[in-house]
Amino acid sequence: MTLPPLELSLVIPAYNEQQMIAATLENLHQFLQVRYESFEILVVDDGSTDETAHVVSQFSETHPNVRLLEQGTNQGKGCAIQRGVQESQGEYILFMDADLPYDLAAVDVFMTALRSKYDLAIGSRHMPGSKIRGVPLLRYLTGQVFSLLVAMLMFPGIRDTQCGLKGFRAEAARQIFERVRIRKFGFDVEALYIARKRRYTILPIPVQMTGFRSDSRVRLLRDSSRMFLDLFTIRWNDLRGNYD
């Protein structure tokens, strides 16, 4: 007998998160189990050098709908999410950061959008109803400049491409992520570029930021420069037919 598909797959990329990952999984599990009949949480350990994988493995022993996927080496957030999408089993796929920086109530809003007519639902920190908390001024301004560049060079109409909370219908997610080439932080723009190219419907949704981690994995100067160059890489990949 064929089992019915899972309703929701939630992908969490993780790198050296041993201090917080158990609390993250507990909060997510409590939130999801009272709202969804069937779900899975996939933690993709991106080559951590601490005990992240061990902590997740222990948690999964008492929570069988939590799965650990291990990358042999650190390959980047985009690569980790790509792996999670490939191995997910849900009708809908969401991904979010391991520190849970956004109010989880957004998950219900995302799922409502995906169940209706939208192929993608993406978090936006720059819409009426959104809230940003604790982000340093320079980091905020850099993000605004990058968003402006994306609108000018790639596509207008999406003010926030980098929010770490996005949702997809499963088929759209697989079509998009099998074409993603960028392994690190620029993958968000590439994924949205592919979605637009394939004419998927996208709904930006305001999110409430509940905190900003002081040990952010983003290194402002280095990663901002790399993400800027990624915009031209995306255009080049498109010219080469990589997104067809």
Instruction: For residues 33 and 82, give the distance between their C-alpha atoms in angstroms, rounded to a whole number.
Output: 25
Give yes or no for residue 1 having a pLDDT over 60: no
Q: Reading across the β-sheet that carries 202-206, which strands appear in turn?
A: 66-71, 39-46, 6-14, 90-96, 165-169, 120-124, 202-206
User: Is residue 1 a part of any domain in this protein?
Assistant: no
pLDDT in tens, 2-50: 556 799 999 999 999 999 999 999 999 999 999 998 999 999 999 999 9
pLDDT in tens, 168-206: 999 999 999 999 999 887 899 999 999 999 999 999 999
- Residue span of the structural domain in which 234 resides: 6-239
User: Is residue 231 a part of any domain in this protein?
Assistant: yes
Our count of domains for the chain comes to: 1
Instruction: For residues 237 and 110, give the distance between their C-alpha atoms in angstroms, rounded to a whole number.
Output: 30
User: Is residue 36 a part of any domain in this protein?
Assistant: yes
Give yes or no for residue 240 having a pLDDT over 50: yes
DSSP 25-53: HHHHHHHHHTT-SSEEEEEEEES-SSSHH
User: Is residue 244 a part of any domain in this protein?
Assistant: no
Instruction: For residues 33 and 24, give the distance between their C-alpha atoms in angstroms, rounded to a whole number.
Output: 14
* CATH number of the CATH domain containing 126: 3.90.550.10
More confident residue, 186 or 223: 186
pLDDT in tens, 89-143: 999 999 999 999 999 999 999 999 999 999 999 999 888 888 887 777 777 777 7
CA 147, 114, 3, 25 dihedral sign is: positive
User: Is residue 86 a part of any domain in this protein?
Assistant: yes
Instruction: For residues 89 and 5, give the distance between their C-alpha atoms in angstroms, rounded to a whole number.
Output: 7
